[in-house]
Amino acid sequence: MKVLVTGGAGFIGSNFIHYWLKNHPEDFIVNFDKLTYAGNLNNLKDIEGFKNYEFVKGDIGNIRDVKKAVKDVDIIVNFAAESHVDKSILDPAPFIITNVVGTQILLDAAKDTNVKRFHHISTDEVYGALNLNSTARFDEETAYRPNSPYAASKAASDHLVRAYHKTYNLPITITNCSNNFGPYQYPEKLISLTVTNILQGKKVPVYGDGLYVRDWLYVEDHCRAIDLVLQKGKLGETYCIGAENDVENLEVIKKILTILGKSEDEIEYVKDRPGHDRRYAIDGTKIKKELNFKPKFDFDEALTKTVEWYKKNRKWWEILKDDKFEKYYERQYVRR
């Protein structure tokens, strides 16, 4: 079977390719990626010589690129997206172009080539925010109420994918996941930024009061869940993927400081970002009942594994925190 992975040089996409080649060695993977700042072929250096792996540089927003990439493909797994909320606040346009228009172009190509499955990766952020003190959780029936340009662009792409199933009978599935963490995550997200800052002897920025709750999903568990959806998921259906690891951002940072033997003096409170959602939480009942999915990794165990990976792979992330990154960092994290 030939599998096209769009955005395969990114964080979750590259982890998925590693997972898929390990668990489905008989399949052929085509990694289709534009190689934006968050796309990194060093994520896949250990498999670049594999006979059942090919990298193709291209943009899902470019019709010619996409038509070439989808030729003779059985399955498309669409990770390609602009995904950083902070950057969507600074400049929404690239998020609309890639996440909405790019998805539409990819869907058209999939329709025209009769792929067996189009699987779309999305986020819990399309559902908006939950009250900090509530026990409510997002599920597949939750109404969409996105609060950031990023979340709005992903919500639009979800609607397009579902519409292509209803209108053209395209065989699709969608997954909406909670916050991922693990190896190869670009050092702009909470956990990767916290770990790398501490290892560099820098302060750790905390937005507002830090009491923002996220459901933390280890990336390997996410890849396993996608595998189950591709193997057993019902066409046209959406599956929410979470781990029920509801932890405040400030608590996550404190756990990392403890793992690295540092004190809370390393924390630096900064100006909050606009429209910051208080709480996300996923109800994974559907994927648990229908596909028997259960996260394999305990949060503290997975967090320790992640910290150790960044400690052992300094060369991988140090090159990413260059002058351009530092300029963005200074602009984004303003001391209160």
Q: Which of 33, 65, 124, 227 is catalytic?
A: 124
Helix (H) / strand (E) element for 223: namely helix 219-232
Identify the H or E element spanning 29: strand 28-33
Contact 216, 299 (CB under 8 A): yes
Q: How far apart are CA 246 and CA 248, in angstroms?
A: 7
Given 53, 127, 150, 212, the catalytic residue: 150
Per the residue annotation, which of 59, 65, 86, 125 is the catalytic one? 125
Q: How many CB atoms lie within 10 A of CB 62?
A: 14
Q: How far is CA 180 from CA 147, 203, 254, 323, in A?
A: 19, 23, 18, 26
Contact (CB, 8 A) for 77 and 33: no
From residue 329, how far is each of 160, 192, 335 by CA, in Å? 34, 14, 12
Residue matched to tokens 């291209």? 58
Q: Is 124 a catalytic residue?
A: yes
| Residues with active-site annotation | 124-125, 150
